């Protein structure tokens, strides 16, 4: 479950948010609440929540000041509560990275909608971390195979797999597929697939897709590059197909990934 802290100087509103929201259905739990930004900052630093719901105007330290002090050091998703005439504050909060804002008086379902938005972002980031770890595992296995090859302890299988992964790293930008890779090694596609599956856990096509998407993530760090250009750079001529593969492996679309990198920067 995702951990939530509520920071609100109005006791009635704070307890209303804490006690009347069905947190379990949102895959969340309340771990603390605070009456001002100073208390909120201390609780956040101590308890490390995933989501913080905070009012903007509070005594001691307001919500914007609290967000500014905390946001750079954490990946917390902030949801801002603001009065109807404080939209400029809400815009500042969104610029600071808040995922959503809620206007007072709070309408039915507004808290739930904002929390769902925050948890969706957290889910996507979790999926991306898993994807990245999987890629790193593949890279580590390649390095291990290569070291074994250099030390003379390699088998014919390891030798082939090293050549296959090297071929992919050199030719992934071209319009190649599993058959082309197998042909380059002088063995059948089925044999090539078996070798790869034994050593890396991936088929030829899966490994090629993961490698291309890994490179695409690197290219998308450039805010000026367009998605269709990245697709072409990694050897996928159909941008729609590229976007489908990217979302399946990373959890978000290429454009969403690029925007998120730019916002973090």
Query: What is the per-residue pLDDT across 37-50, written as a single tens digit (0 to 9) for each?
Result: 899 999 999 999 99
CB of 116 within 8 A of CB of 26?
A: yes
User: Average pLDDT of 155-162?
Assistant: 69
Mean pLDDT taken over the chain: 85
- Quote the pLDDT of residue 142: 59
**Planar angle of CA 250, 201, 189, nearest 5 degrees:** 105
How confident is the model at residue 151, as a pLDDT? 52
> Which residues, 6 or more positions from 37, have their beta carbon under 8 angstroms from its beta carbon?
7, 54, 58, 60, 61, 62, 63, 65, 66
Q: Given this model, what pLDDT does residue 125 score?
A: 84
Q: Computed from CA positions of residues 36, 37, 39, 40, in that sequence, does the dihedral angle turn out positive or negative? A: positive
Q: Supply the pLDDT for residue 233.
A: 95
Per-domain residue ranges of the chain? 2-122, 155-264
Tell me the C-alpha distance between 204 and 164, whole Å: 9
Determine the Cα–Cα distance for residues 213 and 29; give it in Å rounded to an integer. 35
Distances (CA, A) of 142 to 133, 174, 178, 183, 230: 14, 21, 18, 21, 25
Q: What is the DSSP string of 81-145?
A: EEETT-HHHHHHHHHTT-SEEEEESPPTTHHHHHHHHHHHHHHHHHHHHHHHHHHHHHHHHHHHH
Length of the chain (residues): 265
- Distance, in Å, from the CA atom of 16 to the CA atom of 10, rounded to the nearest integer, reads 10
Task: Evaluate if pTM is beyond 0.85.
Answer: no
Helix (H), strand (E) at residue 148: helix 110-151
pLDDT in tens, 168-208: 999 999 999 999 998 888 888 888 888 888 778 888 999 99
Confidence band (pLDDT; 50, 70, 90) for 213? very high
| Window from 23-27, 96-100, 183-187, 211-215 with minimum mean pLDDT | 96-100
Please identify which residue in the block is written with the tokens 């454009």: 255
Place 13 in a pLDDT band, splitting at 50, 70 and 90: very high
Give the list of residues 6+ apart from residue 193 with CB closer than 8 angstroms, or none: 178, 182, 203, 204
How far apart are alpha carbons 258 and 218 in whole angstroms?
10
Selecting from 3.40.640.10, 1.10.10.60, 3.40.50.300, 3.90.226.10, what CATH number does the domain 155-264 have? 1.10.10.60
pLDDT classification of 68: cutoffs 50, 70, 90: confident
Mean pLDDT over 54-63 rounds to 84
Q: Could you tell me which CATH number the domain at 2-122 has?
A: 3.40.50.2300
Model confidence band, residue 140 (pLDDT cutoffs 50, 70, 90) = low
Per-residue pLDDT reduced to its tens digit, 222-240: 889 999 999 999 999 899 9
């Amino acid at each position: 479950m995702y951990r939530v802290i509520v920071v609100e100087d109005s006791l009635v509103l704070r307890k209303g948010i804490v006690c009347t929201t069905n947190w379990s259905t949102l895959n969340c739990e309340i771990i603390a609440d605070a009456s001002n930004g100073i208390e909120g900052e201390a609780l956040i630093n101590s308890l490390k929540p995933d989501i913080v719901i905070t009012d903007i105007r509070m005594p001691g330290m307001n919500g914007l000041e609290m967000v500014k002090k905390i946001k750079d050091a954490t990946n917390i998703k902030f949801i801002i509560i603001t009065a109807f005439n404080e939209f400029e504050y809400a815009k500042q909060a969104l610029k600071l990275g808040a995922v959503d804002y809620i206007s007072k008086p709070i309408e039915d379902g507004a808290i739930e909608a904002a929390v769902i938005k925050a948890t969706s972002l957290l889910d996507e980031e979790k999926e991306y971390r898993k994807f990245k770890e999987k890629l790193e595992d593949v890279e580590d296995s390649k390095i291990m195979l290569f070291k074994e090859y250099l030390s003379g302890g390699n088998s014919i299988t390891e030798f082939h797999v090293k050549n296959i992964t090297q071929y992919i790293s050199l030719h992934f930008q071209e319009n190649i597929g599993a058959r082309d890779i197998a042909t380059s090694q002088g063995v059948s596609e089925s044999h090539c697939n078996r070798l790869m599956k034994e050593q890396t856990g991936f088929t030829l096509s899966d490994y090629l897709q993961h490698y291309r998407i890994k490179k695409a993530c690197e290219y998308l760090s450039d805010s000026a590059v367009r998605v269709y250009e990245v697709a072409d750079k990694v050897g996928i001529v159909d941008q729609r197909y590229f976007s489908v593969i990217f979302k399946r492996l990373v959890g978000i679309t290429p454009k969403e990934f690029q925007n998120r990198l730019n916002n973090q920067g």
